[in-house]
Amino acid sequence: MAGESEAQQAIAYPRGILREVTPLSLWGGDNLIYRTIVALAAIALPVVAAVHWAMRGELPWPQLVFTASMLAGGLTCLEVARRGQREIAAALLIGLLWVGTTIYAFKTGYGMHSAMIFIYLPCLLYTALFFGIGIASSELVLTVATLGVMYVAEENGRLEGAAGVVATGTGFNFFVGIVVTLVATLAAGLTYHRRVEREAARVVAEAARHYAEMQNSRTAQVQLETANARLETLCDEQAARTALRDVEISRLRRDLELLRTGIAGDPSAAAGTLAHLAACSMRTPQRETLDVSALAHQAAAQARGQAAYARISFKVSARLRASADRRMVEDLLGQLLERACRSCHGEPEPVIDIGGGSLEGQPVFFVRDNGPVLDAAQRARLLEPFAHGGATHDLSVVYARCVAEHHGGGLEVESVQGEGTTVHFSLPA
């Protein structure tokens, strides 16, 4: 990641000649320049030789040597760039053009008025494109200083300058040099611009394609995640249904075994209660909002209607609420109060409390009597009345447990010395 960031920074902010890629070479502009110089130099060699031979009967060796040097330099730079040394090729080209032009200006004596002086312009342009404004500014200072030296030399007569150009009849070369330099620079710039436009269009199209693929990939990923979440939800729901089914099957087996054992023991005595229990096991709760306090008062009134239970005190907590089946809850309260009355009616001051509360946001209730404390075996017998070869007709707690479980809750029995026996049951909403 660090290498990639440095490469991007090098492209955006060119510094020096140590980078592998320059702004101009990003779109193949460096090779275009080298080919342009090679082409111009190859054309200029025979043309310049022919024109001078026709006009003066001799070959212009300084011009031919300079042109041949530019041809060889262009070929060398092109080969160096193809080998991946783009910065070295660019520095070699600019240095060759600048030094060759300066040597030609002083060697021929033409100074600032030589046609080759106009090569300073593309040199400066190439430096700015290859290496940035900082190095190009340094080259500009050096070029201005060199031109200043040429000016002083012309003023002192050390260089012929404009007089030398006129005396040797090279005005045509001067004109042609300016025109060719300007036209070649414009042609190279236009070609490079068109290449950049094509490459930019290709890059934009490629970026758009990649963006569309990325969007499609993201959409597919979102759809996959949604489907996976839905599948997980379905799996969880199925697992919950399976677990609930297993619990229901286990409860049905237990109740069926209870009925079978009871019928096998004393069917005539337990027939009514067992039938009531079987009906509860098969019934589906019809939930509605119930005032459990009111139902408890009704059950207590019915219990006090029996002469044996007339002196029992009933304490019912206010504002007890539940979402449950009315008939089943009425039967549950009736069964538990009947058991509590039987348990405590012999006490000096028999008391039965009906109350409730909340556990983890779900309503829970209790029926407590102050009768004799039950040991572990007696509490177990309340939930398994026919176990261990015994026989009892008290199925009240079993029925209450059946009602609570059919509402998704449960039932527990505890007995504490000094408090009596308490039956806790829950009716989840």
Q: Are residues 36 and 107 in the same domain?
A: yes
Q: Which parts of 266-367 fold into alpha helices (H)? A: 267-282, 292-304, 326-344
Would residue 236 count as lying in a domain?
no
Q: What is the pLDDT of residue 171?
A: 55
CA–CA distances in Å: residue 86 to residues 17, 184, 195, 205? 9, 22, 19, 27
Higher pLDDT, 50 or 390: 50
Write down the pLDDT at residue 255. 62
Look at residue 289 and give its three-state secondary structure. Answer: strand
Confidence label for 135 from pLDDT (cuts 50, 70 and 90): confident
Return the closest-CA partner of residue 368 out of 313, 309, 306: 313
CA distance 341 to 335: 10
Round to whole Å and give the CA distance between 170 and 113: 10
204-220 in b/e form (b: 16+ CB < 10 A) is: eeeeeeeeeeeeeeeee
Domain stops at, among 215, 232, 247: 215
- Cβ(383)–Cβ(377) under 8 Å? no
Q: What is the dihedral of CA 207, 211, 212, 217, to 10 degrees?
A: 140
Q: Is residue 253 part of a domain?
A: no
Is residue 170 predicted with pLDDT exceeding 90? no
Q: What is the token pair recorded at 158? A: 């050390």
Tell which residue, 24, 33, 22, has the closest CA to residue 119.
Answer: 33
Residue 241 lies in a domain: no
pLDDT at 23: 60
At residue 206's C-alpha, the angle toward residues 201 and 210, to 5°, is 150
pLDDT computed for residue 43 by the predictor:
87
Arithmetic mean of pLDDT over the chain: 79
Domain boundary among 215, 231, 252: 215
Residues 406 and 306 in one domain: yes
Query: Are residues 314 and 209 part of one domain?
Result: no
Q: Give 212-218's long-range contacts (Cβ < 8 A, gap of 24+).
A: none
Query: What share of the chain in percent tops pLDDT 90?
Result: 19
The residue to which tokens 């990641």 are assigned: 1
Domain membership of residue 232 (yes or no) is no
In a domain, 98, yes or no: yes
Average pLDDT over residues 405-422: 88
Q: CA-based Rg of the chain, rounded to a whole angstrom? A: 54
pLDDT at residue 295, as a whole number? 93
Helix (H) or strand (E) holding 136: helix 133-155
Task: Look at residue 356 and tell me whether its pLDDT is greater than 80.
Answer: yes
pLDDT of residue 387 exceeding 60, the answer is: no
* 133-155 vs 120-131: helix crossing angle, rounded to 10: 160
Could you tell me if 375 and 278 lie in one domain? Answer: yes
Q: Which tens digits make up the pLDDT trace of 248-300?
A: 666 666 666 655 655 555 555 455 555 666 666 666 788 899 999 999 999 99
Burial (CB count <10 Å: 0-12, 13-18, 19+), residue 188: buried
Residue whose entry in the numeric block shows the structure tokens 């783009």? 86
Whole-angstrom Cα distance, residue 24 to residue 197? 14
CB 402 within 8 A of CB 281: yes
Domain count, the chain: 2
Same domain, 74 and 205: yes
Answer whether residue 121 is part of any domain: yes
pLDDT at 355: 93
**Domain annotation covers residue 242:** no
Report residue 152 as tokens.
């002083």
Question: Do 98 and 182 sit in the same domain of this protein?
Answer: yes
Q: Kindly report the CA angle at 48 between 45 and 53, in degrees rounded to 5?
A: 120
* 391 and 278 co-located in one domain: yes
Task: Check whether residue 170 and residue 309 sit in a common domain.
Answer: no
Is 364 among the domain residues? yes
User: Is the dihedral angle over the CA atoms 111, 113, 114, 115 positive or is it negative?
Assistant: positive
| Cα dihedral value 137, 142, 148, 149, nearest 10 | 180
pLDDT at 153 over 90: no
**276 and 205 inside one domain:** no
Instruction: For 77-119, write each residue's pLDDT tens digit.
Output: 889 988 888 888 888 988 998 998 898 888 888 887 775 667 7
User: What angle do the packed helices 326-344 and 292-304 form, to 10 degrees?
Assistant: 40
- Residue 375 belongs to domain spanning: 266-426
The pLDDT confidence band at residue 21, using thresholds 50, 70 and 90, is very low
Determine the Cα–Cα distance for residues 13 and 7; give it in Å rounded to an integer.
Answer: 10
143, 124 contact by CB (below 8 A): yes
Query: Does 159 lie in the same domain as 270?
Result: no
Kindly give the interhelix angle for 29-56 and 61-82, rounded to the nearest 10 degrees.
160
Amino acid at 122: P
Q: Show which of 172, 197, 215 is a domain's final residue.
A: 215
The CATH number assigned to the domain holding 401 equals: 3.30.565.10
Of 12-16, 185-189, 415-419, the poorest mean pLDDT is in 12-16
369 pLDDT more than 60: yes
Residues 197 and 316 in one domain: no
Residue 201 shares a structural domain with residue 307: no
pLDDT for 71 beyond 50: yes
